[in-house]
Structure 1
Amino acid sequence: MPAADAERMFERLKALNPKPVTELEYTSPYELLVAVALSAQATDVGVNKATRKLFPVANTPQAIAALGVESLKRYIATIGLYNTKAANVVAMAHRLIEHHGGDVPRDRVALEALPGVGRKTANVVLNTAFGEPTMAVDTHIFRVANRTGLAPGKTVRAVEDGLLKAVPAAYLHDAHHWLILHGRYVCKARKPDCPHCAIRDLCRFKDKTPGEPDAVT
């Protein structure tokens, strides 16, 4: 996608949603870290239902460590892979206490050293909790980047690197949220809502769903 089209793309996405935020519910960097760790192969809605019960009881590394794996499982049993996630979240809490004084580190290497935390989770925390211009590529962003031609790539890392180059600097901080929301609600996997897409005319997707497009301004 030409740079001028990328500029117009994010200009429109910003006009529709000037201050995008994650749909995960949290009140601290640690709550966000736990919520993102729980969200792998799960919906934000499902994670929020679980954390609304969990966080009032335990929302610090110390409280999660004291809760323990078996007790934590009862709060997150409705989330996929909850056995593994419970073990990781408790182990993560112990590592934060032992190596970071209970604080969430603002450092990629340190974040990725935590149990259950990969590059995507680290990117979400760095961007959403600490304001870093990172790009956490999930299935939605991967799809949108390839379909639109904004940053095509065969791997998640290739798309991430491509987006960091393709997204105009002025929009980079919020681009992660705009692209996720666009993929979740408009550029859906099975049937993208192309007729109501604000960037339809800029998109390189060949198999657009038919219908009368909305006016583009």
Structure 2
Amino acid sequence: MKFLFLGVDLGGEENTWAVAVDREGNPFPGLSLPEGEPVALAEILDFIRKNRVLAAALDAPISFSLTDRKGLREADHRLREILRGEGGEPGWVVSYHALMGIPVRGLLLAEALAPMVGTIIETHPRAALYLALPQEKKSLVKTYKGLRPEAEAALRELWRALFPEENPRRITHGLLDASVWPLPPGPIIWPRKTSFSFPPPAPAASALS
């Protein structure tokens, strides 16, 4: 049985996406692939019970600061500073006030996964993509979410570059976000106190250069 890494983009009941990959970064069938469909939390738990998942990254806050009015932690403020310095959008790192029920779903999922998954971390897919890609491609990350016509084109360009052999029936930014963290040659997990992770610069960056 293969060892897998899991990425989960948590949204509402009809907008949660999960993608598993093996050590080589090959997408593993099940969950949101190959159909390109959202999944329920119960489906994620069932998948975990049937497969060996070494680590899971959740695109949702699973801890909060009690000293910051918005619940932002030191790592959140630091990531905002990094994005501002790199020309990104600090607002990509949002407080739990703006996320409504997502933090609760994240906490519930993390608690349920804990007995079966060795490592559970948070991830910021959009920030990770922006910081990993070459300068000439960073505009795609600013564009791929939204209702503007160029958003769909940017989303598809990012997906084709990261997963050229995968052609799901539907590509959404939730599906892309769930796929970012476990890119080959393997996830890079920062010390837990940082509360966010970055994918390796290759092949994500080289694929788009």
Pick 1 or 2: higher relative contact order, CA cutoff 8 A, min separation 6.
Answer: 2
Task: Name the one with the larger strand percent.
Answer: 2
Task: Give the structure with higher Rg (CA).
Answer: 1
What's the TM-score, normalizing by structure 1? 0.26
